[in-house]
Amino acid sequence: MPKKSLPPLQKKRRYAKYAMAGAMGVLVYTGMQRGRTSRSLHIAAGTALVGLSVYHTLLYKNRS
């Protein structure tokens, strides 16, 4: 049985969720570490999580 292809908007939503989960994982991991490198990664992951959250929200707001 062939797999059903998702519409492009659904794919974007799914990839945004995966990226947010990845950023959250990096955020948690680097939050438990010490050092300058992990601090920089922690800040970058937090920024990425906020940006991805905004992007993900905008994907749902287009439904007027």
Kindly write down the DSSP assignment for every residue of 5-64, as one continuous string: PPPHHHHHHHHHHHHHHHHHHHHHHHHT--SHHHHHHHHHHHHHHHHHHHHHHHHHHT--
Quick one: pLDDT at residue 49? Answer: 97
The mean per-residue pLDDT over the stretch 23-49 comes to 96
pLDDT score, position 62: 55
Is 90 exceeded by the pLDDT of residue 39?
yes
What is the rounded distance in angstroms from the CA atom of residue 59 to the CA atom of residue 53? 10
Average pLDDT, the chain: 91
**Residue 3 confidence (pLDDT) above 80:** no
